[in-house]
Structure 1
């Protein structure tokens, strides 16, 4: 299939599914479709620049007695509110939660419309400021005192900077992390290269050149100054927050995947729950096993059965 034909088909599907910009996102009387395949959903959603994921950002939503705390979705590196949350946004909306999602960390140097397509590129400190403003808007609109956080990848770190250094801790109740990296990553050996350096000091030069376009990249490395600050005091934990981590042993970007396992938090490896779940870093955010684990973490007093079925990398459970 040619690229032109593929994009035409994808655009048609996006229009039909209501995923492009301008499509309504208010909770429907009928349940919203919940896809459990990351790559096709993300590609289609990416065609709608600055679109909301289905079920999110209904600013008239009033939290129910059953789910009194709104959930804020925080996407991963190079993701955005639409591409990252095609599974969890409609799933949570169907469950009766008020769901809100933002795109943060856009590059001001990226040409339009790409500035809104790829998020998480800016300095994490600035992204946390954006999240702080967004959370305040959610709290004011919903009349609540706290939010629950559901983050993926970089979106598991940004909220904790907000909680630990921007006085966000009291505003967060439950903090559920998908593919977190509490100890940073050594993906593709980049942390090792940065630590050892290269001849003639090339590594800091490269980081310096990339920083205006991709400041968060070096911050997410295991031995970065940012990670040292995040773990100041010996732990990233902010008192009063209930943390749950959901990781996959097949994670190709959080290396080692055990970087997402932190003492003092609830830690779940999906392969310990279902041995035929082959979700990697991206598919984990569209994984039916992880979905049930997230719902149980948000509502531990009403746990549901966690399914076990074959889940393939990238394309998931078709």
Structure 2
């Protein structure tokens, strides 16, 4: 073969390897459990602010099998880099267009504090999410997205769904460690209720809002949760799946995650897999939970959850 022809072949092969279709076929390693947590820590230390594996390819075009792009919404004090090192590559490997954002960082926050997301009031974060979803829809040409959220990311998007027009743009909504009724972790909800009863609410609000305004919105009985409950928590056009763990140390009680509505499926991991001891954070790296997610997004091809032992962990 002549040198010129060899060069042309090399160029064609190189372009093929760099094409979006080739990138779409790439398979990413998926780590679970403690290995997944270690991978998240490594990514945060070495690539802070980066998208998780397989996410944010805005040239991705959804397939007929999976027409809805998946938007991953991290938890409080987390970010897209650390939260989705397991679920993002898993979804990408299963043929989804995957997107993730870091939200809720006050403007002007310097590095590395800007890696702590989910701090702004959830109403503000919902506006960020709305803009991101619109960007995803415009890039992919899709009509709707699916949402997979963890902790605050299981709650905040529902404000977008109910009050910012997201109900027309979201198909499936999967919440990991959700807290629809709020949390009373460390009796903080009781303390906050007493503070308000004795007229100290504004003082507590000012102190909390200086550091983490969203924090008091998570508490059972908060004004934010009362607004979310107006007319029913669930939006009637959206299909919800909630994934809870009995060992949740942040959502207290864990049963705050139940929706109990006709368009919701409520899953307690230990009812499926008694040897799953995942805590609040570990659910995002839990192989039992990830199969529930895949089944929720694609029920026509659902597979039984093959239970894995998950040790006690954060």
- TM-score of the superposition, structure 2-length normalised? 0.88
- For residues 311 and 23 of structure 2, the distance between their equivalents in structure 1, rounded to whole angstroms, comes to 30
- For residues 125 and 294 of structure 2, the distance between their equivalents in structure 1, rounded to whole angstroms, comes to 26
Whether contact under 8 Å (2:178, 2:243) holds in the other structure is yes
Which runs of 5 or more structure 2 residues have no equivalent in the other structure?
Answer: 1-21
More helix by share: 2
Structure-2 residue corresponding to 1:302: 301
- For residues 175 and 198 of structure 2, the distance between their equivalents in structure 1, rounded to whole angstroms, comes to 39
Secondary structure in 2 matching 1:301: helix
TM-fit CA distance, 1:310:
1.1
Which runs of 5 or more structure 1 residues have no equivalent in the other structure?
Answer: 1-25
Structure-2 residue corresponding to 1:84: 83
1:256 aligns with 2:253: yes
Whether contact under 8 Å (1:105, 1:120) holds in the other structure is yes
Alpha-carbon RMSD across the aligned residues, in angstroms, is 1.7
Structure-2 residue corresponding to 1:68: 67
TM-fit CA distance, 1:58:
0.4
Structure-1 residue corresponding to 2:276: 277
Deviations along 1:137-184, one digit per CA (max 9) or x if unpaired, are: 000000011000000000011110001010110100000111000111
Structure-2 residue corresponding to 1:232: 230
Structure 1 residue runs of 4 or more that deviate by more than 4 Å after TM superposition:
26-30, 198-203
TM-fit CA distance, 1:205:
1.6
TM-fit CA distance, 1:27:
4.5
Within the candidate set 189, 192, 197, 1:191 is matched to 189
Whether contact under 8 Å (1:27, 1:93) holds in the other structure is no
- The 1:163/1:201 distance shift into structure 2, 3 A limit, reads same
Structure-2 residue corresponding to 1:286: 285
Secondary structure in 2 matching 1:149: strand
Secondary structure in 2 matching 1:83: helix
- TM-score of the superposition, structure 1-length normalised? 0.87
Deviations along 1:24-51, one digit per CA (max 9) or x if unpaired, are: xx94645211111243122112222210
1:33 aligns with 2:29: yes
TM-fit CA distance, 1:204:
3.9
- The 1:64/1:186 distance shift into structure 2, 3 A limit, reads same
TM-fit CA distance, 1:202:
5.0
Whether contact under 8 Å (1:185, 1:256) holds in the other structure is yes
